[in-house]
Structure 1
Amino acid sequence: MSTLGMVDLQVNGFGGIDFNKDDLTAEELDHALTAMLATGVTRCLPTIITAHTECLRARLRALDSAICNSRLGPVMIDGIHIEGPFLSAKDGYAGCHPKDAMRLPSIENFDYLTEGLRTPIAMMTLAPEHDGSTQFIRELISRGTTVSLGHTRATRDQILQAIEAGATMSTHLGNGIAHMLEKNNNPLFAQLGEDRLIAGLIADGVHVPPYMLQSWIRAKQASRVALVTDATAAAAARPGTYTLGDVTIERGTDGIVREPGSPYLAGSGVTLDQCVRNIMNWHGYDLATTFCMARNTPLSVLGKSAIPSVGDIAECVFWQQHDAQWHVTGARIGNWQVHINS
């Protein structure tokens, strides 16, 4: 069976390559994108996480250069996703983002970080409780950047204000959030019950337990769920140590990515085709419904149609059933194709 390609809105790295480095090369990016293509992903948003201003600026410029000079970057990358630095530095919300690099939202700072980039900033994740967030969101929306809410301890009223300003997505909903929350007024339920927000969900069984994921998909409805991986360099890679920016991370033999010697998660090692299989196995959704969570909804977040138009780059993913599960056996985007021996 063949389908169009899947779309991952949150990829920090892949196939042993960290996108959050000052000296990312076009060759390294092509290696990562080829590995991603082999999992059925034909389009993605490389994601850069929080860092101090000069470091973040350098990493964005390195990623932009790698995209423009690579073979697959121009055809597979719809833009860059910046996750931070306008996030919550409070315990339980910062995740593996460096707290001392967090700052208040500022268009001047955003413009400095992105000055001279040829690749558009397709998405920005921020915490809307900061002063100036509403005006900042409106300005980004006017420039064509999708705004997603994440790593936030915002109240329901603050989240509603962000939505009114134009925010349309929740970044890895249920993660980047404290374990203990106020019973009623908390950022999880405020986003989960809001139909105007698409929920980005990591379906690896680790970031969100399957039984909770089932409840959240029912609450949002499948049409408002975008499956994401939050993949790191440890995705589609052997067990061992890798980097996520300035943080050392470790992929265990169980496939889970953590900070070494710590129980805390640091991105993921899952692939999007595995997320699709997980949703089908755990919750009984068929391939067509689940596939929409991995393509149609992510593209709608970016304001793009799931159906190709005349003149669009050709893309195709081949699937085959093994042991009652669907696996990617090959994929093509433009002139580039991969084949997986089954």
Structure 2
Amino acid sequence: MNVTPGLFDIQVNGFAGIDFNDENIDAGKLDIALEAMLNTGVTRCLPTLITASAPVLMRRFQALDRAVAESPLAALMVPGYHLEGPFLNPAEGYAGCHPAEAMTPPDIRLIDEIEKGLSRPILLVTCAPEFDEGMAFINALADKGKCVAVGHSNVGYAQLEWAARAGVRLSTHLGNGIPQVLPKLDNTLQAQLSCDTLYASFIADGLHIPPFALKNLLRAKTFARSILVTDAISAAACAHSGMYNFAGEQVERTDDGSVRLPGASNLAGSSLTLDRAVRNLVTWNIASFAQAIEMATTHPQQLMQQALAVHKRFLPQSEVVWDDDNTVVECHIAHEIIRRYR
């Protein structure tokens, strides 16, 4: 048996049949997702909303925030939100499953408008820094105490150095959100790997990144700067393949666990759970259990600590009990939530 801190997923779009991007989400639906996340050892998370037009984003955030404000589980598990888009690169290969037509140049006013009246702040923003407004936007986010990430971006080395000095601290799902074919060495993946001040998050499902490639990426970034995320959608923790909702679209989960828009080749989020990501790294002989746990607990907490402190979002202590097969058997948050699964 092992006892660890609770896992912290900083990129999760939905879970257990519930889409966090659904304008009809309510506290009951949210609690279904959060309860299922507890079963996988996740005790804190940043529900993630993706690219949409400004009016749609406003409605989605308002609906999600109402659900969070009314949920007893969210009071303990959800300190704030992750906005991935719409300030991304719309070029083919970089946009991924995000609607390119809804992408827009960076504009801090949209962040201000979205946050009006919310009970929780946007703590993490993923953007593409390469646009003219990018550096001013990053500076403004950092001044507001946000954690800033680069993702779905073609930012080069020189621009990234500037962006890091301006406030970028994370590469979102590094190795993904980029085209299948890039210049051999002078490319954004190499630039982000070489930037020692950045953390990087990785989707360790064996589909987004082949295990042998993930091993190389983790070596380059180092374990100390690496974070495990799921990028899960509503298909995660569901027993069956089939069609699931994701941000106004129907996506298909196939038997291998991959999720795509019907007929598309690129992935649309994942069906990964964070405990599975931990086990995968151990099974693939990439990391020890202790190293994998740090990537899902200590490292995301370190990344988000400044934003949490600025916004006065304090998380209760939590712990997870694992059996000898690295399966979650108990989950505790403070003295208020105790779950025993086996």
Q: TM-score range by the shorter chain?
A: over 0.9
How far is the alpha carbon of 1:329 from its aligned partner?
1.1
Q: Residue in 2 aligned with 1:257?
A: 259
Q: Residue in 1 aligned with 2:330?
A: 330
**Out of 245, 248, 266, which is 2:247 matched to?**
245
How far is the alpha carbon of 1:74 from its aligned partner?
1.3
1:43-92 CA distance string (max 9 Å, x none): 11000000011001100111111111101111101210000000000000
Q: Does 1:277 align with 2:279?
A: yes
How well do the aligned residues superpose, as a CA RMSD in angstroms? 1.5
How far is the alpha carbon of 1:137 from its aligned partner?
0.7
Q: Does 1:98 align with 2:99?
A: yes
For normalisation by structure 1, the TM-score amounts to 0.94
Q: Residue in 2 aligned with 1:43?
A: 44
Q: Does 1:62 align with 2:63?
A: yes
Contact 2:93 2:178 in 1 (8 A): yes
Distance in 1, Cα, partners of 2:145 & 2:70: 24
Distance in 2, Cα, partners of 1:82 & 1:197: 18
Distance in 2, Cα, partners of 1:165 & 1:263: 35
Q: Does 1:2 align with 2:6?
A: no
Contact 1:34 1:338 in 2 (8 A): no
Contact 2:215 2:286 in 1 (8 A): no
Q: 1:210 to 1:234 in 2, by over 3 A?
A: same
Q: Residue in 1 aligned with 2:302?
A: 300
1:285-323 CA distance string (max 9 Å, x none): 221111110111101110269xxxxx96242211001xx
What secondary structure is seen at the aligned counterpart in 1 of 2:295?
Answer: helix
What secondary structure is seen at the aligned counterpart in 2 of 1:87?
Answer: coil
Moved more, 188-197 or 325-334: 325-334
Q: Residue in 1 aligned with 2:318?
A: 315
Distance in 2, Cα, partners of 1:285 & 1:96: 30
Distance in 1, Cα, partners of 2:279 & 2:223: 15
State how 1:54-203 maps to structure 2 within 5 Å. 54-203=55-204
State how 1:203-222 maps to structure 2 within 5 Å. 203-222=204-223
What secondary structure is seen at the aligned counterpart in 2 of 1:270?
Answer: coil
* Moved >3 Å (runs of 4+): none
State how 1:9-24 maps to structure 2 within 5 Å. 9-24=10-25
What secondary structure is seen at the aligned counterpart in 2 of 1:283?
Answer: coil
One-letter amino acid of the counterpart of residue 29, structure 1: L
One-letter amino acid of the counterpart of residue 12, structure 2: V
Moved more, 247-256 or 150-159: 247-256
Q: Residue in 1 aligned with 2:310?
A: none
Moved more, 43-52 or 236-245: 236-245
1:5-59 CA distance string (max 9 Å, x none): 0111100000100000112101111110000010001111000000011001100
Contact 1:257 1:266 in 2 (8 A): yes
Distance in 2, Cα, partners of 1:241 & 1:336: 32
